[in-house]
Structure 1
Amino acid sequence: MALKEGDIVTIWIDSKRVFLLKITKGKKLETDKGYILHDDLIGKEYGDLVKMSRGSAYLLKPFLEDIYLDLKRPSQVLYPKDVAYMIYSSGIKPGDKVVEAGTGSGFLTISLAYFLGKEGKVVTYDIRKDMQETAKYNAYILNLTDRIEFKNKDIKNGIDESDVDAVFLDMPCPWEVVSKAYEALKPSGALIVFVPTVNQVEKSYLEMEKYNFIEIHAEELLLREYKVKEGATRPKNIGVVHTGFIIRGRKSIKPL
């Protein structure tokens, strides 16, 4: 299918020069290897090799992981290994409705919206309007704004939604929202929490037990990439290893 204005494309020059852009007439991508005019991308197809002012580049269909290339990120963001596992273990599916807090730069928000599809909905809370403006811009670049509702509100004061399929919390004190999450969730719905310290793990886990969440797990995911070279394949010296902790559980009916 031919590319048109408004489409998203990943520009791959080499492994160190990869760019995500939304095709906009009249714009130009500037790199140290030359420039590409957006107008020259219109009519091309994913997989094509295009000429730059110096050299050439491949046009790739964007994968969700490509959001980490070029989107605005004024705050620390969740990494793909954690986001993927959080979504997988939440049990959500396309068309579901989920609540998230806090929005931050919107990388989890965008991942949820992408996964839930056109019929799904993400309601995301954050007390910082500036962060939500950044997240809105990032969602706009990926054409996902119609799947996301942004609320500039402290979720600790309550969740407006009810009967939601999952609640995702990436905030400093998630244990203060556990009771609100319980009320908002469908029976058997998942609460997924991401925190950076073990102190937060303990507080969140015990609060989830208190409010009748079951099948609770506290986990850490480690990722190690390998440098492949004939006769000398080994782990890379630098990589994303520890990023944080995930606590997850499912809403049960309160005992009589």
Structure 2
Amino acid sequence: MRVWRGLWRAVSSGDGAAHGGRPRRRAWETSLSPLERVRRLLPPEEAAAVGRCAAAPQVPPEEEEATAPQVSLEEAGARPGPFRAGELALAEVRRKYNATLKLLCRLAAGSVLASPRGLLPHCDIIGQLPGQMLRTSAGAPLLLRRPSLEEYVLLMPRGPTIAYPKDISAILMMMDIHPGDTVLETGSGSGAMSLFLSRAVGPKGRVISYEIRDDHHNLAKKNYRHWRTAWEIGHMEEWPDNVDFILKDISTAAADMKSVTVDAIVLDMLNPQSALPVVHPSLKQGGVCAVYLANITQVIDLLDRIRTCKLPFLCETIIEVTYRNWSVLPAKIKNCKSSQMVENQENIEEPPQKEYEEIHIQDQAVLKESEYNESLSDDAETYCSVPYVARPSYWQDGHSAFLTKLRKFRPLLSSCC
């Protein structure tokens, strides 16, 4: 034992030359800080530089925040909160069978929002923050918030059938549109596609929208103008004015298209094959032409026209966008009460919270209206194991359209129809 102690003293004593000139830390010494560990791994000159940086005076967090440059909400891009007169507001009304009715209105000081559950003056909405629950004259709660572009497109006035947002998102992915691109649209309709294209190309981009019918042309311009005005009032920033609505038949606009080069094309019309010979010279090589058609027979006619006329287009994909809605609800038992409430009564000896009834109609569960607020309280929430039933909803979205993706290529031998 004495021999081992002597060897330990011999190794641990001295100037530490066996360890690269660095002193060896004893077991009884305090543990090294992270900075000291880094310093011992560095060469002497770099370790000294680290020490000088560590010795620099530290600024307290409160003083650092005080000296930091202050940025206003507008400079930081933060969106202002309260509703203002002239902008759009969306009211969600809970109806029977867990259904939700959405009402879109433009706020004005002397107007009133009429809902199936009562009236709500616009003056009670103006100045409130979005996302709040307000009560109507009948005492029913309404959720007020700003509409998204998808909701505005679905609720705005329409003449022809719109291109639905689920299809528009797929079309935007097909064309791979970037900010600053120029896109040609044939068939303005009610302006749904124009609004999404306007947001996709950004302030530096451009959307050229052709429409043959005068009423559709005016309606698309009106919906586009109303959204821009409401956006500027509610978000304190301007929506890009980058859509040119042109009232003209695209099949007769060959002279106008000669001086235009577009990055992508959207055809939303009954006979898109009549427009392809006119618009394809303006499409850049490798660009995408997305065609929105309701029937598969129209897709066949389109492809047949491309083949017979030998147009420089390759058909890459033909898809149908479908959504599958699901219903996830607590399991129903025979006494028409939720399994969550039954389990609470069995596991808790204290008197339970005020019960609420559930009416199960098909795959919907509706809370009893008089006790709706009590069921949403924190005291009624439980985190115990509750059986749930998950299945596809009985109500599914139907077919909307077929989306055809055409890619322009450069043929070896040019030919025309």
Give the TM-score, by structure 1 length. 0.89
Query: Identity over the aligned pairs, expressed in percent?
Result: 29
Matching of residue 151 in structure 1 with residue 251 in structure 2? no
Q: Which residue of structure 2 lines up, in the alignment, with residue 175 of structure 1?
A: 273
2:159 to 50, 71, 74: 74
Distance 1:27-1:99 versus aligned 2 partners, 3 A rule: farther
Q: Deviations over 1:151-198 (max 9, x none)?
A: 111111125341112111111110111122211212222100011122
Aligned match of 1:26: 110
2:92 is aligned with 1:12: yes
Aligned to 1:245: 402
Deviation digits for residues 8-36 of structure 1, max 9, x if unmatched? 33222224221223333333221111223
Q: Contact 1:215–1:249 (CA<8 Å) still a contact in 2?
A: yes
Q: Distance in 1 between matches of 2:106 and 2:210?
A: 26
Do the aligned partners of 2:264 and 2:283 also contact (CA within 8 Å) in 1?
yes
CA 51–94 in structure 1, closer or farther in 2 if over 3 Å, else same? farther
- Between 1:206-215 and 1:158-167, the stretch displaced more is 206-215
1:95 maps onto 2:252 in alignment:
no
Rate the CA distance shift 1:25–1:129 in 2: closer, same or farther, 3 A.
farther
- Which residue does 1:232 correspond to in 2? 389
For 2:303, which of 205, 228, 232 is the aligned residue? 205
Kindly indicate whether the alpha-carbon contact (under 8 Å) linking 2:207 and 2:243 is maintained by their aligned counterparts in 1: yes
1:37: which partner in 2? 121
The higher radius of gyration belongs to 2
Is the partner of 2:389 in helix, strand or coil?
coil
The range that moved more, 54-63 or 167-176, is 54-63
One-letter identity of the residue aligned with 2:405: R
> Structure 2 vs 1, CA of residues 208 and 28 (structure 1 numbering), >3 Å: closer, same or farther?
farther
Gaps of 5+ in 1: none
Question: What is the distance in 2 between the residues matched to 1:192 and 1:113?
Answer: 16
Deviation at 1:214, TM superposition (A): 3.2
- Structure with greater proportional strand content: 1
Conserved? CA contact 1:205–1:247, under 8 Å: no
Assess, with a 3 A threshold, how the Cα gap between structure 1 residues 18 and 214 changes in structure 2: closer, same or farther: same
Counterpart CA distance in 1 for 2:122 and 2:202 is: 27
Question: What are structure 2's unaligned runs of at least 5 residues?
Answer: 1-79, 229-238, 331-387
**Number of residue pairs the alignment of both structures matches:** 256
Does the CA-based 8 Å contact 1:139-1:145 persist in structure 2?
A: no
Aligned partners of 1:120 and 1:9: how far apart in 2? 28
Q: Is the 8 A contact 2:202 2:240 kept in 1?
A: no
Which deviations, in whole Å up to 9, do the C-alpha atoms of 1:48-89 show, x marking residues without a partner? 223332323222232222024421122222222211101111
Name whichever of 217-226 and 82-91 sits farther off. Answer: 217-226
CA contact (8 A) 1:50 1:59 kept: yes
Structure that is richer in helix per residue: 2
Residue in structure 1 matched with residue 69 of structure 2 by the alignment: none
Aligned residues: CA RMSD: 2.2
Structure 1 pair 35/182, CA: closer, same or farther in 2 (3 Å)? same
